[in-house]
Amino acid sequence: MSTSREERTAAGFLSNKMWMRFRRALIGRSINDGFLFKIALYVILLSISVMYIMPLLYMLATSFKSMSDLLDQAVRYVPRQFELQGYKDALIGLDYLNALWQTAYMSLSAAILQVISCGITGYAFARLKIPFKNGLFFIVLLAFLVPPQVLVIPLYVTYAKLGWTQTALPFIIPAVFAAGLKASLFIIIYRQFFATLPKELEESAKIDGAGAFRTFVKVMLPLARPAILLVFLFSIVWHWNDYFEPSVYLQSSQLRDFIPLSLRMDRMQEALNFHKSVTAGNNQQLIFDIYAPLKMAASVLIIGPMLILYMFAQRYFVQGIERSGIVE
């Protein structure tokens, strides 16, 4: 084998034993416990992380930049003074407090409804007798694969007829019916999770005389905490960040109407473009974007709540996927 050949050639230079000891310290017994390997691992991971985080840091830095910092090429990641004007403008431009409330209300209620409705459906697919179960589950998979682009037009027509296009209802009502944003993914998560729980639990509940619904609520749901948390968190984040569907359904330009944060950026951009075209004379020569601090501040404000949520709940996000047995 190749290793023994290496050793034989090495033996000419070093005594065999010393070489072995050196080699073990450097490369380790198997590839992944040596010193060199660890260093390489850290170097690679750190450099990828830096690449990952750089744009985020840039965003944060730019949001605090004053006009002179923005002009200065030397200032990239650390502004000389922390200018809050960008945030002040963004708060007004996004109508932030109002939008924050609207978005939180929409994502929270949709998430709670999806947790319940998808949970019931997922449990049924995992455990209950359903005629044509496999065929029906195929529909779940299909619903996951069908891109929303094919569905939004008819739905928009319907929602417009119902007068929902100024409200959060296009996102909340589907959640009641285990439909809506990524609902089939949540159903699959629940199904996979419930399938891992021991069957004896339900059998003993059944012997004790509990019906299917009671078994589900009293026995299975309390055990499903990891899956519930995972679905809840993902549902919130995805609803919060969803852009495509709101951009189709919500055509209202009235700031007081329901417009989630993800859309507000667009609306602000439109306003800025308008402003730019009005004051075109001296702005058009500039190669850089004088609104950069404002836009970056708005971006920070939009994703800020989700980043805070992630800070507190990252454990559940990351571990949830492994624990809930999605991959089996």
Partner 1 sequence: MNDRDKLEQPKLTMTAKEHRRRKRARHVMESLSGLLFIAPWLCGVALFLAYPLGYSVFVSFQQVGVKPDGSGLSYAYVGWQNFRDAFLLDNEFPVKLIDFAYRSVLTVPMSVLFALLVALMLNQHFPGRMLFRTLFFLPVIFATNEIITELQNQGQGTIPFLQQYNVTELLYSTFNASIAKTILGILDQFVIVLWYSGIQILIFLAAFQTIPKATYEAAQIDGASPWESFWKITFPAVVPFIVLCLIYTIVDLGTNALNPVLTIIVSNMGNIETGYGYSSALGWIYLTVIFVPIALLVWWSRNQQKRAKG
200-219: contacts with partner 1 (CB under 8 A): 211-213, 216
CA end-to-end span of the chain, whole Å? Answer: 37
Decide: is 327 part of the binding site for partner 1 (CB under 8 A). Answer: yes
Which 106-125 residues touch partner 1, going by CB under 8 A? 117, 120-121, 123-125
- Of residues 144-183, which lie at the interface with partner 1 (CB under 8 A)? 144-157, 174, 176-180, 183
Those residues whose C-beta lies under 8 Å from the C-beta of residue 186, and which sit 6 or more positions away, are 114, 115, 118, 122, 178, 231, 234, 235
Q: Which amino acid would we find at residue 183?
A: A
Which one among 10, 11, 20, 59 touches partner 1, defined by CB under 8 A?
A: 59
CB of 156 to partner 1, least distance (A): 8
- Contact at 8 Å (CB) between 90 and 219? no
Closest distance to partner 1 from the beta carbon of 129 (Å): 4
318 contributes a contact to partner 1 by CB under 8 A: yes
Binding track over 122-141 against partner 1, x by CB under 8 A? -xxx--xxxx----x--x--
Query: Rounded CA gap, 246 and 263, in Å?
Result: 7
Is residue 271 a contact residue for partner 1 (CB under 8 A)? no
Q: Which stretch binds partner 1 (CB under 8 A): 6-14, 104-112, 273-281, 318-326?
A: 318-326
Please answer whether residues 170 and 159 qualify as being in contact, where contact means their C-beta atoms are separated by less than 8 angstroms: yes
State the nearest-atom distance from the C-beta of 56 to partner 1, in Å.
7
25, 54, 78, 255: which one binds partner 1 (CB under 8 A): 54
- Binders of partner 1 among residues 65 to 104 (CB under 8 A) are none
* Contacts of range 21-30, beta carbons closer than 8 Å, 24 or more positions apart: none
Nearest CA-CA partner of 264 in 304, 305, 301: 301
Q: Which of 88, 61, 90 is nearest to 298 (CA)?
A: 90
Is residue 38 close enough to count as binding partner 1 by CB under 8 A? yes
